[in-house]
A and B are shown apart, each in its own frame.
Chain A
Amino acid sequence: DVKVTQSSRYLVKRTGEKVFLECVQDMDHENMFWYRQDPGLGLRLIYFSYDVKMKEKGDIPEGYSVSREKKERFSLILESASTNQTSMYLCASTQGTYGYTFGSGTRLTVV
């Protein structure tokens, strides 16, 4: 089974801090994604990447950036964390549409 591993389950950060959320997949998938999940809003796509060093903006990229230096790792960066970025963050990977595999999520609280 494909595994998508997010490095932290829970994070608490202060306003203005630079925050890194890490995601690693172990099945050589080309495509990786970062979603944000909020109650009543479902999942919204922040950024995605279809190849190393490639990145594309999703629906809500403002306040975020990403890095993909290696195929298996996709990092989400909050340049200056704000309280409205308190949320659940989910990473996913896929090769074609035959299965998007999600990590367990990182619940980020910005205080």
Chain B
Amino acid sequence: DAGITQSPRHKVTETGTPVTLRCHQTENHRYMYWYRQDPGHGLRLIHYSYGVKDTDKGEVSDGYSVSRSKTEDFLLTLESATSSQTSVYFCAISPGQEEKLFFGSGTQLSVL
């Protein structure tokens, strides 16, 4: 498996609280991505990064922010969590813009 670690693996939080999910890679890949997966919607891209401090929005970026201060870490922050953000979050990496993405094991987030 590609060296991708997501933390935490599971989190339960309350509406209105801030939440940060972490993706850590040991592959030195340039691109990192955050997806969310919900029943009936497949995986949807939230944000992605193409280098340190370089990020861009995906399909469903509202309510989320990201940061990448080091090549190996990509953080996803929910500034004020809502119940609609209950989902499974996957991090992915790739060396470039080719479509061979490597995915992490996911974080199950429940917002009550």
Report whether chain A binds chain B.
Answer: no
A-side residues, CB < 8 A to B, are none
